[in-house]
Amino acid sequence: DFDSRKKRKVAEIYQALNSDPIDVATLRRMAISEGGLLTDEIRCKVWPKLLSVNTDDLPPLPGKELREDNKDYQQVLLDVRRSLRRFPPGMPDDQREGLQEELIDIILHVLKRNPQLHYYQGYHDIVVTFLLVVGDRLATALVEKLSTHHLRDFMDPTMDNTKHILNYLMPIIDQVNPEVHDFMQSAEVGTIFALSWLITWFGHVLSDFRHVVRLYDFFLACHPLMPIYFAAVIVLHRKQEVLDCECDMASVHHLLSQIPQDLPYEALISKAGDLFVQFPPSELAREAAQQQAERTAASTFKDFELASVQQRPDTVLRQRFRERPRGEERTKSILTKPRTNRFVKLAVMGLTVALGAAALAVVKSALEWAPKFELQIFP
């Protein structure tokens, strides 16, 4: 039953934590597998290992002098003041206000120590999750490591790398369900609806904190592009809603930007892991680059520039004017696009799920992506 499985998992997590050296691969598997890391107490112990942060050498708490003459202070202050719903309902005002002050200091501290990083609105949605789970001092160290690794592309002075990551969304959908892909292409909806999902790791759009931290377990254990795979499986999960929608940009964008709160998270996490194994980023890179070159909503128009200027991840340009060059060649290319390889891979996927190989491969990719993490030995 669930209780006995939970007890076994807790025991396995602590065994991995107590091994010498620490068994990071097992911790990653535990974070990915059903239920994730289970409790915040365990997350306080495991999240630092997943990010290779030595808890015996944490930086001192940032001081209030960070706020003086800081170019980001006013924007961070505004964003944090608007973050009321990210705190547990019923929390006393004085406790919440104290946490908000800590949130501001953590963000400014990371930015000051890493001048190559640029603040973006939505960053505070990620930082507050760490603050609520592990406290201010450990959160500062974890967020700094995360910002220079997983979140690095979002913190460039331009949104070019963020756009590139979003360009993986449609190729993933195309591999699994060409009908949904072609419908979305016909609607010219682009990928801007998933911007706030990606840059906040869904923290901005999910109301239940339990679901947010479960996803953070998953993302911390995986390759940095896993959030875009999870975005794709949400769209695929809603495929019938999409296909039943009016085939125009406004209708499809409105549908997809309203993310359901009752998603089957464990099933979607499993599916995202499977898709990552079957269609790794290396195989999708060429099509993602082509997305950038084509006349899509992401590249032709100023959706991203507008979002960047306004610094609101949930703000999008609702109305656009564009030519619609849709000749016979475009129609023919859709109809004749080879699909054989996809169906073979989907058949193989069923085997990998049954054998449990998908989770292992996801873990392996995460470890390969961050070899420097693995070389660090914790005392």
Q: Tens digits of per-residue pLDDT, 87-138?
A: 988 899 999 999 999 999 999 999 999 999 999 999 999 999 999 999 999 9
> Rounded to an integer, what distance in angstroms lies between the CA atom of residue 159 and that of residue 198?
13
User: Are 293 and 299 within 8 A, CB to CB?
Assistant: yes
**pLDDT tens per residue across span 205-227:** 998 999 999 999 999 999 999 99
Per-residue model confidence (pLDDT) at position 89: 87
> Rounded to an integer, what distance in angstroms lies between the CA atom of residue 330 and that of residue 359?
38
User: Are 32 and 269 within 8 A, CB to CB?
Assistant: yes
Q: In the chain, where do the E strands start and end?
A: none
The two domains 1-148 and 159-303 share their CATH topology (first three levels equal) = no
User: Are 168 and 225 within 8 A, CB to CB?
Assistant: yes
Indicate the average pLDDT of the chain: 82
| Position 294 confidence tier, pLDDT thresholds 50, 70, 90 | low
Per-residue model confidence (pLDDT) at position 1: 77
User: Are 99 and 88 within 8 A, CB to CB?
Assistant: no
Task: Tell me which residue has tokens 């002075």.
Answer: 157
User: Are 215 and 202 within 8 A, CB to CB?
Assistant: yes
Q: At what angle do helices 123-134 and 73-81 cross, to 10 degrees?
A: 70
Using CB atoms within 10 Å of the CB of residue 328, give its burial: 0 to 12 exposed, 13 to 18 middle, 19+ buried. Answer: exposed
**pLDDT tens per residue across span 216-269:** 999 999 999 999 999 999 999 999 999 999 999 999 999 999 999 999 999 999
Which pTM was predicted?
Answer: 0.79
Counting Cα atoms < 13 Å in the Cβ hemisphere of 351 gives: 6
372 vs 58, residue with greater confidence: 58
- Given a cut of 80, whether residue 201 has pLDDT beyond it is yes
Q: Provide the CATH topology of domain 159-303.
A: Cyclin A; domain 1 (1.10.472)
Query: The domain 1-148 is classified under which CATH number: 1.10.10.410, 1.10.260.40, 2.60.40.1180, 1.10.8.1310?
Result: 1.10.8.1310
Amino acid at 210: R
**pLDDT tens per residue across span 341-368:** 554 444 444 444 444 555 666 666 666 5
User: Are 118 and 80 within 8 A, CB to CB?
Assistant: no
Which residue ranges make up each domain of the chain? 1-148, 159-303
Dmax (CA) of the chain: 64
